[in-house]
Chains A and B, each alone.
Chain A
């Protein structure tokens, strides 16, 4: 039997070669995310918006509460101008719209992120517990979510704000009360498939307590789903807050949010002060676009099958 020398040599080389560096799930996801142009655009937009919210006040020539009596109530002189320092113009009361937009963006982002964080914490724990224990516990917990989801929450939220005072804190509580419902459903569904995996069975077989299994084996595997959904939840929370503020029932003066600014701008646009609508609207739209694009990009990156 003649052995092909060259084949043996290549085999020897192949077996002695160092291991190929493996790519983790996260490295793969990162690569896919950075190849997605829409997601990169979204990331760029978000960076811009966050930078605007954080550092805008250093550029602003005016404070958000100071009134410029030279331009107050005059549509002809209160437009955007670099000469008097009102880069975005001034609002009806003569306040600098640039500083107001920075303030509004800050509040809108804050509401969105806090609402989403509450959803992550409450929704994940609720969904994981419900899905893991199953049976009657699951039936009861999910029926409760069904009932709460069927209530037109916007009306209850407004009821809550009217009765207990319209403050930012109350707004956070109200938004947080509703944001976790969908999250808990999604997490529960994911937990149902995870809990029958072999490693969970193994953990159960060696007597690991249920809550430890949830913490150590279920929750880490939920990160992908939770991150994607939390990102997509932020724009929804911003929309909710803007909706309420547009009606004049949300954030109160001297605080403001993008929704309140859009409402003001929409109210005065017939006087020819279009910039009062345009600038807040621009930041509102690019913020939403940014979060949607990044969220979609993350979903595609973490779950290539779902394309």
Chain B
């Protein structure tokens, strides 16, 4: 097991390094400097600016300094556009919001999706099954940026039930629409995957044996069928997490929740490379860590994996 985890770590760390170096290089070879938008600056001022941000150093030194600051001090450096704020300030402001509704959406998607899938599989060909299948097909074509306006149209503009934007940590009414918009399509995918793998497991030999022994239905499903049926769901969680993180950008922009995605898009429009890189690296790290956890959980649950 420890060897298996170490092996996974051995892929995760180069991936992270590749991400940091690739984004730094992309930024470095970009035409124009980050300060080229400031018209008519004298060369000596430009030189001072470059010196302040460390851009006058040779490339390898810039990258190693940046890496060292990120790894050892968790410091992403100053913003190129906002003179009085560092990238850390910007991240510290938006990240708790993203984390709150993000984890809520993730939990919702998994819990509702698995419940829906399992019920659909147990009550096969009932109206519940058809509903679950219908919802999961429909939700495939309703990604978050389509769900968001539709939800606002129905619940804010027509019914006046929920606020269509903004954020408050103390008022859960602000959380509902972002969570629904972000979680729906993943919930649908999880339901579909759970349903088909549950159906497959329910038809297998060990379930027939359990039935023949006269075990109660509930015990069969929760003790014997659920665990193997969840394996494909677990392997889907990695990609789902990645695209949920990406989807949070839409939520932040559309619902003005003030999360980290909004800073990313703003920095993209302002060419604030430092903030873009900081956010990319932070979210990339989260993704890679999460994939690592999924791999370890998978190795722990699936008896077929040899390590």
Please state if B284 and A152 are interface contacts (CB–CB under 8 Å).
Answer: yes
Q: Does B114 reach chain A (CB closer than 8 Å)?
A: no
Q: Does A281 reach chain B (CB closer than 8 Å)?
A: yes
Please state if B153 and A269 are interface contacts (CB–CB under 8 Å).
Answer: yes
Among A147, A243, A270, A288, the residue within 8 A (CB) of B145 is A243
Q: Does B11 reach chain A (CB closer than 8 Å)?
A: yes
- List the A side residues contacting B283 at CB < 8 Å: 152, 155
Q: Does B15 reach chain A (CB closer than 8 Å)?
A: yes
Q: Does A104 reach chain B (CB closer than 8 Å)?
A: no
Among B145, B242, B280, the residue within 8 A (CB) of A159 is B280
Please state if A160 and B26 are interface contacts (CB–CB under 8 Å).
Answer: yes
In the bound assembly, the distance between CA atoms of A270 and B141 in angstroms comes to 23
Q: Does B297 reach chain A (CB closer than 8 Å)?
A: no
Q: Does A277 reach chain B (CB closer than 8 Å)?
A: yes
Contact size range, B? 35 or more
In the bound assembly, the distance between CA atoms of A269 and B146 in angstroms comes to 13
Knowing A155-B264, A243-B145, A262-B146, the reply to whether A147 touches B15 (Cβ < 8 A) is: yes
Q: Does A285 reach chain B (CB closer than 8 Å)?
A: yes
In the bound assembly, the distance between CA atoms of A163 and B279 in angstroms comes to 16
Smallest beta-carbon distance A5→chain B, Å = 51
In the bound assembly, the distance between CA atoms of A13 and B249 in angstroms comes to 73
Among A143, A249, A277, the residue within 8 A (CB) of B149 is A277
- List the B side residues contacting A266 at CB < 8 Å: 145, 148-149, 152, 254
Please state if B149 and A155 are interface contacts (CB–CB under 8 Å).
Answer: no
In the bound assembly, the distance between CA atoms of A163 and B29 in angstroms comes to 9
Among B11, B18, B264, the residue within 8 A (CB) of A151 is B18
- List the B side residues contacting A249 at CB < 8 Å: 265, 268-269
Name the residue on A nearest B287 (C-beta): A152
In the bound assembly, the distance between CA atoms of A154 and B143 in angstroms comes to 15
- B230-272 Cβ-contact flags toward A at 8 Å (1 or 0): 0000000000001001100110011000000000110011010
Q: Does A146 reach chain B (CB closer than 8 Å)?
A: yes
Q: Does B97 reach chain A (CB closer than 8 Å)?
A: no
In the bound assembly, the distance between CA atoms of A156 and B271 in angstroms comes to 14
Please state if B23 and A269 are interface contacts (CB–CB under 8 Å).
Answer: no
- A126-170 Cβ-contact flags toward B at 8 Å (1 or 0): 000000000000000001001100111011101110111000000
Please state if B141 and A289 are interface contacts (CB–CB under 8 Å).
Answer: yes
Q: Does A284 reach chain B (CB closer than 8 Å)?
A: yes
- List the B side residues contacting A154 at CB < 8 Å: 246, 249
Please state if A143 and B276 are interface contacts (CB–CB under 8 Å).
Answer: no
In the bound assembly, the distance between CA atoms of A156 and B279 in angstroms comes to 11
Smallest beta-carbon distance A92→chain B, Å = 15
- List the B side residues contacting A259 at CB < 8 Å: 145
- A237-270 Cβ-contact flags toward B at 8 Å (1 or 0): 0010011001111000000000100110110011
Query: Which of the listed residues B149, B153, B265 has the most CB atoms from chain A within 10 Å of its own CB?
Result: B149
Q: Which residues of B contact A (CB under 8 A)?
A: 11-12, 14-15, 18-19, 22-23, 26-27, 30-31, 140-143, 145-146, 148-149, 152-153, 157, 242, 245-246, 249-250, 253-254, 264-265, 268-269, 271, 276-277, 279-280, 283-284, 287-288, 291
Q: Which residues of A contact B (CB under 8 A)?
A: 143, 146-147, 150-152, 154-156, 158-160, 162-164, 239, 242-243, 246-249, 259, 262-263, 265-266, 269-270, 274, 277, 281, 284-285, 288-289, 292
